Chain A
Amino acid sequence: MEAIPSQASGTLWSFRLANGVARFTAGFKVIARNRLALVGLGLIIVGIFCALFAPFLVTHDPYEINIAERLQSPSFAHWLGTDFMGRDTYTRMIFGARTAFQVAIGAVVLGAMFGIPIGLLSGYFGRWVDMAFMRVMDSILAFPGRLLAIALVASLGGGLFSLYVAIGVNSIPSYARIVRGAVLSQKEREYVEAARMTGEADTFIMFRHILPNCMAPILVRLSLDFANAILTESSLSFLGLGFPPPTPSWGLMLKEVSPFLELQPWAAFFPGLTISLMILGFNLLGDGMRDVFDPRQYQR
């Protein structure tokens, strides 16, 4: 007797998996048609690959100081030259990908982890819940761009956790607003009504029924948010408010070589280019996904 329900649930899960794979493949096919999004995805994959396999891709120790070889131009020994302490720029840039992704993942997760439930609760319950949450979101939005991140890092101090909070807090309102908007458009639909009629709990309806139907704008936001997190981390490190030296962070690398700009421009050129390419990758993918999730795209 016990075998039947487990078999049934197994079938259900395999159906769900197949459905998920089919949707993913359909989405990827549309992205693949958008060449720019594909370029973006390629850039991101290269970035993730560098972050994961950094120790196997580098030619030197990222912390090895060699004053005799300081501020060198690109050569066979140092592919992208060296910085003001003779450290290999290429090696530090590859390890910099680790730093960037580490911060970006933490900050994006934190933003989404708070923003999505706030948006769900606001949209679903409305009234004073909505008003209270939205006023708090408005007050976060009352601080322009990076100002709040700078203020938070200034008081919390540097380090990984502070960066998560400083960058993550900034993105909470955008998730909350997107999800709230999506919930408002979904909650009057028949499937939600049907779920309510069957007596399902509000939490279950919110997370199991409504949230999956709001995933499209959330995924677009996630991609754009990664770009923003990488930019904010490098900006904070450039200002000396992020990671302390000698951490291989792209922003910190730029800060350290900026006094030697005229002497060795390459040392500033490559880290900046890498940040731009990474941000470009996430922006292109975000734009591409927006096209995918636009229903008109499916009809074409």
Chain B
Amino acid sequence: MLGRYIIQRLLQLIPVLILVSLIVFLIVHMIPGDPVLVMLGVDPEVGASYSEEQYRELQHMLGFDRPVYIQYIRWLGRVLEGDLGLSLQSRRPVVNILMERYPATIYLAISAFITVILIALPAGIIAAVKQNTVTDYSAMGYAMWGQAIPNFWLGLMLILLFSLKLGLLPSIGYASPLEYPFRFLQHVFLPAIVLGTSMSASVTRYMRAEMLEQLSQDYVRTARAKGLPPRLVIVKHAAKNSMISIVTVLGLDIARLLGGSTIVETVFTWPGVASLLLEGIYARDYPIVQGAVLIIALTYVMINLIVDILYKWLDPRIKFD
């Protein structure tokens, strides 16, 4: 049954992936004017500062001397072979550059996800248990503000407080968790908090609502009536049952962390794919832009697929239409 479901999901993915590739391909073609001139960095007001030979070389490299549909088919063929072209700036293969930057993005997303779990689940549980108290209002205040605060502003404010004023944490930089785990933790702390804030705010809200629902159920009353310690009732019974729907929310949100990473990576100069994308945009290095957008979108699609399949595996009653 599960095998059939996986095949069905993979088949559904094919048209989506084709359209995704088309959108990524069109990024270059939507540039107003002549994309080749834009990529050569020609300012229309100043005039030409390139040779005819450079123009022809770039035009040929991008395949712009052929009809658009042929360009797309050839581009897609190359992408399927793992060839995303050369960076216009460094002349290195885009795939190699992406592979160097990809792990940092994933480490950051995982760290942010961990902060979400560490903040949101206890906050939601405590808020529900202490409903209509100062603790509850504080947690709900956090849930409201967390979704309203722009992450670049939160990042700047945390840098100001923890790095510039208190000098506790570095504001920029990166260290590989495999080689320097302690330094990695120092560097990832602020970006992970910032990236996870919006998601932890919404999960806190869901967790509180779900816990309130569970705490009003008969089985909780029975557990309390038979004299179980309150902590046991909350953690072992209510929280455990709340987790079923919270896992769904977490799964849906995990991939969204990738979207927020573009800004967080820029604020903290985190050397991931998202900051590479912006570097590519600033330098008009469109093969890099295409590669970065493609790899982030593919990761996003794959995470969503895995989460869907995991649900099906965990709970075969779930139907996806």
Contacts and interface: CB of A to CB of B under 8 A. Distances in A.
A118 interface: no
A283 B27 contact: no
A137 B165 CA distance: 46
Interface string B115-148: 0000000000000000000000000000011011
A144 B150 contact: no
Contact of B144 (A146, A239, A283): A283
Nearest to B278: A239
Interface in A245-300: 251, 254, 258, 261-262, 265, 268-269, 271-272, 275-277, 279-280, 283-284
B149 interface: yes
B262 A261 contact: no
Contact of A280 (B24, B32, B145): B145
Contacts of A234: 150
Contact of A261 (B26, B160, B278, B296): B160
A269 B157 contact: yes
A202 interface: no
B contact face: mostly helix, strand, loop, or mixed? helix
Contact of B300 (A144, A275, A277): A144
Contacts of A75: none
Given A151-B27, A240-B282, A261 B153 contact: no
B193 interface: no
Interface in A4-21: none
* A contact residues, range: 35 or more
B192 to A, nearest CB: 17
Given A146-B260, A241-B281, A138 B16 contact: yes
Interface stretch (B67-75, B230-238, B251-259): B251-259
A208 interface: no
Interface in B288-305: 289, 293, 296-297, 300-301
B310 interface: no
Contact of A254 (B28, B145, B152): B152
B300 A276 contact: no
Contacts of B29: 155
Contact of B153 (A227, A254, A284): A254
A272 B20 contact: no
B169 to A, nearest CB: 15
A231 B164 contact: no
The 3 A-B pairs of least Cβ separation, nearest first, read A145-B259, A272-B153, A144-B259
11 contacts: A142-B16, A144-B258, A144-B259, A145-B258, A146-B260, A151-B24, A155-B28, A240-B282, A272-B150, A272-B154, A279-B149
Interface of A: 36, 135-136, 138-140, 142-148, 150-152, 154-157, 227, 231, 234-235, 238-241, 251, 254, 258, 261-262, 265, 268-269, 271-272, 275-277, 279-280, 283-284
Interface of B: 15-17, 19-20, 23-24, 26-32, 144-145, 147-150, 152-154, 156-157, 159-160, 164-165, 255-256, 258-260, 262-263, 266, 277-278, 281-282, 289, 293, 296-297, 300-301
